[in-house]
Amino acid sequence: MHTFEELRAKNNTFIYREYKVEIKDGSVKLTYFFDLTLDGKTTTFIHKLTLKNNNFDFNTDMENIYFHIGLAESISYYKIAAPQDYIIRCAKINTDQIKWFQKLFFNGLGEFIYLNKIDITQDTLVNFMCYDENDELKYIDVKTKDANIIPIGGGKDSLVSYELLKDEFDDTYLFSMNPIVASKNILDKHPENSITLKRELDIEKIIKFNNDGYLNGHIPFSSILGFISIWVGLLYKTKYIILSNEASASEENIIYNNQKINHQYSKSFEFENDFRDYISTYITKDVEYFSFLRPLDEIHIGKLFALKAKEHFNTFRSCNVGSKKNIWCAKCSKCLFTYIMLCNEISDQKLEEIFGSNMLDDETLLETFTALSQDDEVKPFDCVGTYDEVNYALSKKQKTYSKENMPKLLKDYKAKNIAYGFNVELEHDNNLPNKFRKILDEALKQLNK
């Protein structure tokens, strides 16, 4: 196995060499070339994105966003050895931009840093360098319309956004990268307003490096989605990119070497603010990125899902383990968390039908259950909510059972340090434009009825 310290001791480099744009039959194909040099030997990774055939306007100079998508995507290959020197050959960014990407790489690779036990700072993880002859990036100006793009992942959060917004605007597009079955179910209902993108990692080379003992770990995928969504918004001339990230995505999993390690960093409110500022300063002011569900916590979202999305109960999916098979594995932290968030809103019988078992009665999940509910543990590295949200839901559910029929995981459960009180209000900081805030307010009022 290769250690970070061993790799850093060698003169390894990462190069973002170039990107190519091919427009054919109305589709756009972006191809990126990244070079990783280890011990004098260079491996070239080829990364591809294809936006399917549609009526695009190709008159706008998009070089700026093409470049930035590649810079965001490169982290999947950079992490293999995490060399200090990152050379950019195909564009020029300034000192402030470099600092912005140093922060993204440091925090976005926080889980990677923690699990690989790396002792590093934000300033020393990666040194971005641009060649002087690189071209400066041109600011993008387009005339956008009052329209929306909603990324659809197939889980309960994006489905809540979809259900609350689908009838509010004539020009609402649904966007999915490498859509799974759950996403396709939604896209197929709106063929004229659906946008799909095929994303192809140079996976065979990545797997070979992993098998050879190089570094591996989680990346800030939502930052990649962010830059790609801005590009799609520019192509379709839509004003709003509407994410579905909730307030609790901002909570860290653990603090390590004074760094907040957050599996969901690129879904956090901090990243959202940083991203909005970066886009408006360096790329375009014509497309606005925000999370529609940011004012809400997971309890709100669970209630709204149960109220508004009944038709999706049997088709929604957000289990990473079972996504390719279109199932809930019913054994991971994401499955158990989702089950807990819905256990007070959907009947036991229906939940068992959805997940294939009563997960609160599964003793094999005790370790995961404890990690989700007890704040002296490391919160599972998955897209899960806060300890208080979990304990609120479990405490409420526990009261519905007698001692005789209590599920196994709730028999010895005692809520710990509950500081959470549920309010049907928009109470968390957010970037919602007023018209979207009003829609969310109206939806929440229905929870009181």
**CB proximity list for 338: less than 8 A, separation 6 or greater:** 155, 156, 318, 319, 328
Do 281 and 412 sit in the same domain of this protein? no
Residue 437 domain flag: no
Do 237 and 330 sit in the same domain of this protein? no
Residue 299 domain flag: no
| Per-residue pLDDT, 376 | 74
Residue 150 domain flag: yes
Do 144 and 274 sit in the same domain of this protein? yes
Residue 222 has pLDDT above 90, yes or no: yes
Do 354 and 261 sit in the same domain of this protein? no
Q: How confident is the model at residue 323 (pLDDT cuts 50, 70, 90)?
A: confident
- The distance from CA 131 to its chain's CA centroid, rounded to whole angstroms, is 32
Do 325 and 253 sit in the same domain of this protein? no
Number of domains in the chain: 2
Do 258 and 335 sit in the same domain of this protein? no
Do 250 and 208 sit in the same domain of this protein? yes
Q: State pLDDT tens for residues 5-42.
A: 999 999 899 999 999 999 888 889 999 999 999 999 99
Residue 426 has pLDDT above 70, yes or no: no
Residue 176 has pLDDT above 70, yes or no: yes
Do 261 and 402 sit in the same domain of this protein? no
Contact predicate 374/246, CB 8 Å: no
Residue 119 domain flag: yes
Q: Which domain holds residue 357?
A: 319-425
| Per-residue pLDDT, 136 | 83
Residue 246 domain flag: yes
Lowest mean pLDDT among 126-135, 143-152, 210-219: 126-135
Do 336 and 278 sit in the same domain of this protein? no
Residue 333 domain flag: yes
Do 269 and 333 sit in the same domain of this protein? no
Residue 258 domain flag: yes
Q: How many C-beta atoms surround the C-beta of residue 234 within 10 A? A: 23
Residue 265 has pLDDT above 90, yes or no: yes
- Whether pTM > 0.85 for this model: the answer is yes
Residue 448 domain flag: no
Q: How many CA atoms lie within 13 A of 93 on its CB side?
A: 26
Residue 288 has pLDDT above 60, yes or no: yes
Pairwise CA distance, residues 245 & 142, whole Å: 27
Do 340 and 281 sit in the same domain of this protein? no
Do 324 and 281 sit in the same domain of this protein? no
